Amino acid sequence: MTFFDLLRFAWVHLRERKRQTLLTALGVAVGSAMMITTIAVARGSSQSVFIKLIDIAPHITIGADRVVPEVPDNLFGFIPGQVAFVRKNVTTDKKVVIKNYNQVVQTIKPITEIEDISPYVTSKLLARNKNRYTPCFAKGVVPQLEAGIANLKKNLLEPEALSELAWTSNGIILGELLAEKLKVKYRDTIMLVDKDGNEYPVMVVGRFRSGFNNKDKSEAYVNLALAQRMEALSSNTVTGIGLRIADIDKADQLAARIQKMTGYETESWSQANRNVIDFYNRNGIITLVLVSFVFVVAGLGVSSVMTTVVLQKVKDIAILRSMGVQRGSITRIFMLEGLMMGTLGVLLGSPVGHLICNLIARIRFEPSKAGVVSSDRLLVVETPEAHLIVIGFGILIAVISSVGPARRATSYMPVQVLRGEVG
């Protein structure tokens, strides 16, 4: 028998059971649509977090911890036969810093991949507005430099806040949720209290919304000079240097290169947020595995229909076998039926999945302030590769589900069937 003869037999069998065939194909279509939608939403969720991480933080951060130990200031040289040591050199409350940060900046400036460089000083403080207290994390920056590092200008609720911060020595830009907790608005004065109880009055010159609730409810920006004063640091000392590069895919390699050049521990954005990235990747995989079981259910439907067809066609199979049709040809007929149902299902499910993705992308809702990320929509990332994978997987499940009934169809002896001993 030719392939077209086998195909004609398979088509006739399915045509005789239109309702069951259509319902089974719809089961495969639902599985395809759900899987396409799940892949798009899972990818969109991960990409949304990655985009926000890239936008609100430096691509590369030079920390204050040294990889190459620094030579003590009071060590002038080595004298044979003598040992030098330093007494009372341990200061547990001393902040780890980058001394003479301008030298570090000049060292890395020739790297063409670097677009922006911004030194900063971090400080843990207590923010007070009248009788309201809340801990906060202040970052002292040079406003013009920091604007390019973390897209701060794009996230500002008051567009000119950075410019105002630059000429207001005691200015502060608060996270939106932090400003709500303190019940403050533009031009209000609040008090920053350090660990020693010293108070620093600052004026609110703006607010920012990053999309990360933890950042928006606990972080603020002040001028670098003010942060250095609060931390009792000299003007040429910072606690870190943030870098923005042209190609974020090269962040890991570039971070390793800068670490060798400067001797300071350097970390890329992906290394700093490894736990968050791994969590979202694992979550996407788990969700995909769970949704793939819908295909298994659809496969059981295919297998059920095929078993019914085999039981109804026992005598037809016996006649074909008695006419000399080989077992392999009979098996291929029923596997073609599974292939046809699977193909019909995924061809229906793929456009339905695309339609659902478009509908989800259009939905808008009130941003939540309780979760990690604040967003008014679900980011959906739909790719042709996802459709192709789902189509291939759906057809494969349908064909595999038809293998059992197809083998059963060839297990009957024609003589027993024709005598009425089977069926």
Residues paired with residue 221 on neighbouring β-strands, in sequence order: 139, 173
Q: Answer with the residue of higher pLDDT: 88 or 27.
A: 27
| Pair type for strands 189-193 and 237-238 | unpaired
- What integer pLDDT is reported at residue 421 of this predicted model? 58
Interatomic CA distance for residues 209 and 155, integer angstroms: 5
Name which of 243, 314, 348 is nearest 27 in CA terms. Answer: 348
- What integer pLDDT is reported at residue 172 of this predicted model? 95
CB 236 within 8 A of CB 45: no
The proportion of the chain whose per-residue pLDDT surpasses 90, expressed as a percent, equals: 28
3-state secondary structure of 265: strand
Q: Lowest mean pLDDT of 46-60, 160-174, 190-204, 351-365, name the range.
A: 46-60
| pLDDT beyond 60 at 63 | yes
Tokens of 414: 């024609």
Average pLDDT of the chain, as a whole number: 82
Return the beta strands (E) in 130-239 as ranges: 132-141, 171-175, 189-193, 199-208, 219-223, 237-238
Interatomic CA distance for residues 121 and 212, integer angstroms: 21
- What integer pLDDT is reported at residue 94 of this predicted model? 65
Best-predicted range by mean pLDDT (84-98, 183-197, 365-379): 183-197
- What integer pLDDT is reported at residue 230 of this predicted model? 92
| pLDDT tens-digit map of 225-242 | 999 999 999 999 999 999
| pLDDT beyond 80 at 66 | yes
CB 415 within 8 A of CB 358: no
Map tokens 């031009």 to a residue: 187
Q: Answer with the residue of higher pLDDT: 58 or 328.
A: 58
The proportion of the chain whose per-residue pLDDT surpasses 70, expressed as a percent, equals: 87
Tokens of 187: 């031009």
- pLDDT interval class at 164 (50, 70, 90): very high
φ, ψ at 278 (rounded to 5°): -65, -40
3-state secondary structure of 389: helix
Name which of 368, 393, 394, 365 is nearest 377 in CA terms. Answer: 365
φ, ψ at 352 (rounded to 5°): -65, -45
Name which of 231, 174, 179 is nearest 200 in CA terms. Answer: 231
Interatomic CA distance for residues 162 and 221, integer angstroms: 10
Q: CA-CA distances (angstroms) from residue 324 to 78, 165, 332, 375, 408?
A: 99, 91, 15, 67, 18
- pLDDT interval class at 171 (50, 70, 90): very high
- What integer pLDDT is reported at residue 92 of this predicted model? 53
| pLDDT beyond 60 at 422 | no
22-396-399 Cα angle (round to 5): 60
List all residues 6 or more positions away from 203 whose beta carbon is below 8 Å from its beta carbon.
168, 170, 171, 172, 187, 188, 189
Q: CA-CA distances (angstroms) from residue 101 to 106, 222, 264?
A: 9, 19, 11
Q: CA-CA distances (angstroms) from residue 8 to 69, 286, 323?
A: 79, 41, 18
Interatomic CA distance for residues 221 and 207, integer angstroms: 9
Q: What is the DSSP letter of 249?
A: G
Interatomic CA distance for residues 48 and 54, integer angstroms: 10
The domain ranges of the chain are: 3-54+276-418, 58-70+95-272
- What integer pLDDT is reported at residue 395 of this predicted model? 87
| For residues 115-141, average pLDDT | 92
Interatomic CA distance for residues 121 and 142, integer angstroms: 10
- pLDDT interval class at 180 (50, 70, 90): very high
| pLDDT beyond 90 at 206 | yes
| For residues 30-49, average pLDDT | 84
Q: What's CA 196's distance to the chain center, in Å?
A: 40
- pLDDT interval class at 179 (50, 70, 90): very high
Q: What is the DSSP letter of 86?
A: -
| pLDDT beyond 90 at 120 | yes
